[in-house]
Chains A and B, each alone.
Chain A
Amino acid sequence: MYFCTDFTDTIICSKMQRKTLVRLLSVLLFIVSFSAVAQHGMDVKEIAPGPEGNKTKKEEIKEFINHHLLDSHDFNLFGSTDELTGETKHYGFPLPVILWDGGLHTFMSSEFHHNNGVVVSNGNQYTLYHEKIYRTDAEGTINYDEKHHPTNVRPLDFSITKSVVMMLLTSLLLLWLFHSLSKSYAKNGRLPRGIGRFFEPIVLYIRDDIAIANIGEKKYKKYLPFLLTTFFFIWFLNMFGLTPLGVNVTGNIAVTTALAVIVFLITTFTGTKDYWKHIFDPLGDGMPWVGKILIYIILVPIEILGLFIKPFALLIRLYANMTAGHVVLMSLIGLIFIFKSWIGGPLSFGLSFAISLIELLVALLQAYIFTMLAALYFGFASETHAEHEAHEGEVQHL
């Protein structure tokens, strides 16, 4: 699923024309996202109506997928269901739960599995429902409204969830990886060693073809650490999402929102005078003020809206792509259990294998696009008038 507003599309397109590679990538992205949508649509159809006999299995799979997409308070590695009793055993480890509900409440998530799922902490009772923590009574009752949404009070949940653990692990991995790369230069006479040989060209690519190409030779240095961190953070988390660990960190709206908020803040606070002038006075001296007022009534709100749409598109694009990928992949794997035949099994396997390969590409592509667009927005924000003029000329040239 590739969300892209018209506004961002035009920006991307005007900038992207410069590089054939980039254009190629965007075409690829379009194809990939299209196929993802198609696959997704098919699966939903397959699962939803279906013959009566398989309904429980299908619902089970659907529930499993939905559950997988959510963040979790336990770190489940795998689970097994007893065919006779229907009990599911999960293997993994519990994670700390931190709640703010008039005071600080901390306990391990394993406590949710005892005592009817109710945890008593500092005089309040809490229970876990669809991976969300609600305040409840001693029996763990949950009240629902007419849409079957719980109406219980939700405390502020600062738990170290599965996603947080994965982010911490990824951060440690990144730190170790790139710190060792940075140290290998001194040891190895200005050349990277080991895995750094693989990552150094990527770092250089981001510097040369994302940062310098979009921001410019003068100002790219200020933004480069952010771009590099974002790229590798998203890429690594995307890749972890494809492992059987089943973590869907970048497919989590809160994570992508946080990244987009940071992009927005950086764009806003590093914006030059020309950037703001472009938003509030886009036509400049090209028109008498009488004419401008009429146009600006429409134009300025659009420009201001654009400020928020840009990071919003970023967060939705990453979230939707990763979520869609996981849904498609898990649905295809789920089909194996629905078909249970010699034809359907290998077919689903083959399909899910193919989608896995595409997902590997998407993992990289989404990290690239996020970084690329962030760099593009930083480029707009830091552009001064003279550079802008020069740039316009360049575009017209092509």
Chain B
Amino acid sequence: MEKLINDFSFGLFFWQIIIFVLLLLLLRKFAWKPILNAVNEREEGIKTALDSAEKAKLEMQNLQADNEKLLQEARAEREAMMKEAREIKTKMIADAKEEAKAEGDKMVASAQAAIESEKKSAIAELKQQVASLSLEIAEKVVKHELSDSDKQMKLVNEMLGDAKLN
């Protein structure tokens, strides 16, 4: 302890205080403040950059989600459109079928009607021809039959006999 006190140099103490305080003030003004400000600024910069990156990422995600949504909507719309188209197609086909069927039916019906009328007129004509033919035949038969009186008498008798039966 005595050696320590003996070694203590007041002059050195004095200079140390002066130099140190001066150094502290100078460094504070010319070094520490600018350095710490620069570092703080940089850290703030990094922080804001990170924040904005995060924000951008979020925005990106939102955008992506939006895109996804839009895509899904588009897909749904396409699906709906296709479904509609398919429905329309089936309906059209069905309609066409129905129409065709109706037309066909109508055609068949009219054909049948035509056939019927043709048939009727054919039958009528046939009847007429059969009638005239039979008249001719009958005329010829009668002419032939009534060429002698015996045969005429016989016929009259037969007819009378039929009439009695009636």
Q: Which residues of A contact B (CB under 8 A)?
A: 70-71, 98, 149, 156-161, 163-164, 167-168, 171, 174-175, 178-179, 181-183, 185-186, 190-191, 200, 203-204, 207, 224-226, 228-229, 233, 252-255, 257-259, 261-262
Contacts and interface: CB of A to CB of B under 8 A. Distances in A.
B7 interface: yes
A73 B69 CA distance: 85
A257 B20 contact: no
A167 B4 contact: no
B11 A182 contact: no
Interface in B9-49: 9-17, 19-24, 26-28, 30-36, 38-39, 41-42, 45
Nearest to A97: B11
A261 B17 contact: yes
B19 A181 contact: no
Contacts of A160: 15
A292 B19 CA distance: 45
Interface string B125-150: 00000000000000000000000000
Contacts of A224: 32, 36
Given A190-B38, A224-B36, A157 B28 contact: no
20 contacts: A70-B7, A98-B11, A158-B11, A159-B11, A161-B9, A161-B11, A175-B30, A179-B30, A181-B35, A207-B36, A225-B27, A229-B20, A229-B23, A229-B27, A229-B28, A252-B12, A253-B4, A254-B9, A254-B10, A259-B16
Given A179-B30, A259-B20, A253 B8 contact: yes
By secondary structure, the B interface counts as helix
A70 B4 CA distance: 11
B47 to A, nearest CB: 13
A178 B31 contact: yes
B11 A258 contact: no
Contact of B15 (A167, A178, A183): A167
A174 B9 CA distance: 25
Contacts of B16: 164, 167, 254-255, 258-259
A71 B14 CA distance: 14
Interface of B: 4, 6-17, 19-24, 26-28, 30-36, 38-39, 41-42, 45
A226 B25 CA distance: 9
Contact of A171 (B23, B32, B35, B39): B23
A228 B13 CA distance: 21
The 5 closest A-B pairs by CB, nearest first: A178-B31, A182-B34, A185-B38, A258-B16, A225-B28
B13 A175 contact: no
Contacts of B4: 253
A12 B8 CA distance: 28
Nearest to B28: A225
Contacts of A178: 27, 30-32, 35
Contacts of B20: 167, 229, 233, 258-259, 262
Given A178-B35, A190-B42, A200-B39, A161 B12 contact: yes
Contacts of A163: 12
Given A156-B10, A228-B32, A252-B12, A190 B41 contact: yes
Contacts of B19: 164, 167-168, 171
B36 A71 contact: no
Greatest chain A CB density within 10 A among B27, B30, B39, B42 is at B27
Contacts of A255: 12-13, 16
Contacts of B41: 190
B34 A258 contact: no
A316 to B, nearest CB: 8
A179 B34 CA distance: 9
Contacts of A186: 38
B11 A156 contact: yes
A174 B45 contact: no
B34 A157 contact: no
Contacts of A228: 27, 32
A174 B32 contact: no
A175 B38 contact: no
Nearest to B25: A225
B8 A257 contact: yes
Nearest to B17: A258
B27 A174 contact: yes
A106 to B, nearest CB: 13
A156 B9 CA distance: 9
Contacts of B39: 200, 203-204, 207
A200 B12 CA distance: 31
A175 B31 CA distance: 7
Contacts of B33: 225
B11 A225 contact: no
A181 B21 contact: no
